[in-house]
A = this chain, B = another copy of it.
Amino acid sequence: MNDSVMRRPFGKSHGCRFGEHIDLNDLASSDIELLNAAQLIRKHRPGAYIFAQGDEPQGIYCVASGYVLLGRIGAFGDKIAFGVVGPGEIMGYRSYFAGDRHAATARALTECRVCLIPGRAMNRLLDRNTTLGHQFLATLARDPGPPDGLLLRAHHVPARVRLVTLLLILRDRFVVTGAEDSVEFDLPIGRRDIAALLAMRPETVSRTIKELEDDGIAIFSDRHVVVPYLGRLYDIAGLDRLN
C-alpha cells in the first residue's frame, strides 16, 4: 500500500464536513486551528485497508472523497459488510468513544482521501466545546453501529444457540439457586415474549426447548429452568459449528 500522508488546511472546502449532524461552523477559529494542526490526511487506493477489526483506535476518521466499505467478521467467522461511508461522513468514532478496539474493518471502495483526527485533539475539542459533544451524542444515537449481539447472529445461528444465549443472559439476572456448575432460575417472560426476543415463532421456541430437554441440557417447568451443567450452555453459545 503506497498510501501517502499529507496535510491540508481544515475547512469546508476540502470535504470534511464531519457528517450530517456535525457542523464545523460551531467551532471557534482556535478550535479549527487545532484541527488543522492535528489532522492527518491519507490517500488510499481501492481495496486498501484504512483500519482493521482489532486495531486500537487512533481517533476519528472523516472521508474527504471517495467511498469506504465497513465490514466485520462475526463471532462465527461470518464476514458481513454493514455500511458504505461517503464524502463528508465520519467513521471509526464508535470504537473510539467506547474505548474498545475497532469492531469493524474499513476498506477503500474507490480511490479516496480520508483524514484522521487524532484522539488527543478530539478530546481537547470536546472539553472546550460542549456543543460538539451534543452533536456527537446525536450522531452516535442515530447510528445503529455494527450489527452484533443476538440480532446479527440471528441470521446464521440456529435457534438453539439463540435460545441458549438468552438463557445465559437471563440467568445473571434471575438466579434462584447457583450451586457449583448447576443453576436454577425463573424466566421473567413467557414463551411468546421469548419468541419475540429471539425473532422467532412461539412454536419454534417450544420445539427448541424440547430439544434442550431431550439432550439433558436444561429442564423447563413452565417458567422455571434447571440447568445441570452450565458449561454446556457456554459450549453451545460459544461455538457450535459441530453439532
Contact = CB atoms under 8 A, between A and B. Distances in A.
Interface of A: 67, 69, 71, 78-82, 84, 86, 93-100, 109-110, 123, 126-127, 130, 133-134, 136-138, 140-142, 144-152, 154-156, 169-170, 173, 188-189, 193, 196-197, 199
Contacts of A97: 134, 137-138, 140-141
A173 B67 contact: yes
Contacts of A98: 138, 141-142
Given A137-B140, A193-B69, A145 B147 contact: no
Contacts of A199: 78, 80, 152, 155-156
Given A71-B196, A130-B126, A130-B127, A110 B188 contact: yes
A139 to B, nearest CB: 9
Nearest to A100: B142
A170 B110 CA distance: 14
Q: Is the interface of A mostly helix, strand, loop or mixed?
A: helix
What 7 pairs between A and B have smallest CB-CB spacing? A98-B141, A97-B141, A81-B196, A140-B140, A97-B137, A147-B151, A81-B197
Contacts of A144: 144-149, 151
16 contacts: A80-B199, A81-B197, A82-B150, A86-B173, A97-B134, A97-B137, A97-B141, A98-B141, A109-B189, A123-B134, A126-B133, A133-B133, A144-B147, A144-B149, A147-B147, A151-B151
A89 B243 CA distance: 36
Given A93-B141, A144-B146, 11 more contacts: A78-B199, A80-B199, A82-B150, A84-B173, A96-B141, A133-B137, A136-B137, A137-B137, A144-B147, A155-B155, A156-B199
Contacts of A99: 138
Contacts of A156: 199
Nearest to A194: B81
Given A136-B137, A141-B98, A193-B69, A188 B147 contact: no
A191 B133 CA distance: 39
A67 to B, nearest CB: 6
